[in-house]
């Protein structure tokens, strides 16, 4: 029997960054289960966003929400302690960004955070298998990381399905181009943690979009349980 539930995490990089706390609260009030924060270092990906000082300030305003840090950075071990200190809950590093994923996992756990492992589109899903048992979540990127507004890559869904067939209770996250149209493919493949950027954040009615995403995922979770 599956032991995972649907969680929707708006990507707040798509919001008005000058009003980050207000925008984050607006997402939470609209039904978000967690906040997905994109950290880019200008090296691992060609874009630059924000770091732990911004996260710390946000945490001072948003006391209890779950912060899922998507660390698109080289040498992810370097930022584990600062992010833990800033109030991050989950530290999702890219398996391509470190030669010692096991060490990164250990450091994240020692710092008191949950462990997420992210895979870029060109990375085979098998790369993560040796580490899944020590992780809380695996993120399958459905766009090339580093830029918003790209189209959802349906051809990543076999990766999600492979993980779901092997790990029945794993949190599997998808990120990139997820909206009320593309959600069905992700949900059918077995994703349960849904990152959505502009589809939610730019919507006139974010609650409606979150409810729609959630409804689709829950429907597929129920189907998968019935099939068993």
Catalytic residue among 38, 136, 171, 185: 38
Distance (Å) of CA 87 to CA 51, 63, 112: 12, 9, 10
Q: Got the DSSP string for 120-173? A: -TTS-GGGGGGGGGG-SEEEEESS-TT-SSPPP-GGGHHHHHHHHHH-TT-EEE
33 catalytically annotated: no
What is the Cα–Cα distance from 148 to 95, expressed in whole angstroms?
Answer: 21
Residue 210: HSE in the Cβ half-sphere, 13 Å Cα cutoff = 22
What is the Cα–Cα distance from 38 to 195, expressed in whole angstroms?
Answer: 11
Q: Can you say how many angstroms the Cα of residue 162 is from the centroid of all Cα atoms in its chain?
A: 18
What is the Cα–Cα distance from 170 to 102, expressed in whole angstroms?
Answer: 18
β-partners of residue 67 are 35
Catalytic residue among 33, 136, 175, 185: 175
Distance (Å) of CA 154 to CA 123, 163, 203: 15, 16, 23
175 catalytically annotated: yes
State whether residue 5 is helix, strand or coil.
Answer: coil
Active site residues: 38, 175
């Amino acid at each position: 029997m599956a032991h995972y539930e649907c969680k929707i995490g708006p990507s707040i990089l798509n919001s008005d960054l000058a009003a980050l706390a207000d925008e984050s609260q607006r997402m939470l009030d609209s039904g978000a289960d967690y906040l997905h924060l994109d950290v880019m270092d200008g090296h691992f990906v060609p874009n630059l966003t924000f770091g732990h000082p911004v996260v710390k300030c946000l945490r001072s305003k948003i006391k209890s929400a779950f912060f899922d840090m998507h660390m698109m950075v080289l040498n992810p071990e370097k930022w584990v302690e600062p992010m833990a200190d800033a109030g991050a809950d989950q530290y999702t590093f890219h398996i391509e960004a470190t030669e010692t994923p096991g060490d990164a996992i250990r450091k994240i756990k020692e710092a008191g955070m949950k462990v997420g492992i992210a895979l870029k589109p060109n990375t085979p899903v098998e790369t993560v298998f040796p580490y899944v048992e020590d992780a809380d979540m695996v993120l399958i990127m459905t766009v090339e990381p580093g830029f918003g507004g790209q189209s959802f890559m349906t051809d990543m869904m076999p990766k999600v399905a492979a993980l779901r067939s092997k790990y029945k209770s794993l949190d599997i996250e998808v990120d990139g181009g997820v909206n009320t149209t593309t959600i069905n493919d992700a949900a059918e493949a077995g994703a349960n943690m849904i990152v959505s950027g502009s589809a939610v954040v730019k919507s006139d009615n974010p609650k409606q979009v979150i409810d729609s995403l959630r409804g689709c995922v829950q429907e597929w979770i129920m189907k998968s349980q019935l099939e068993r």
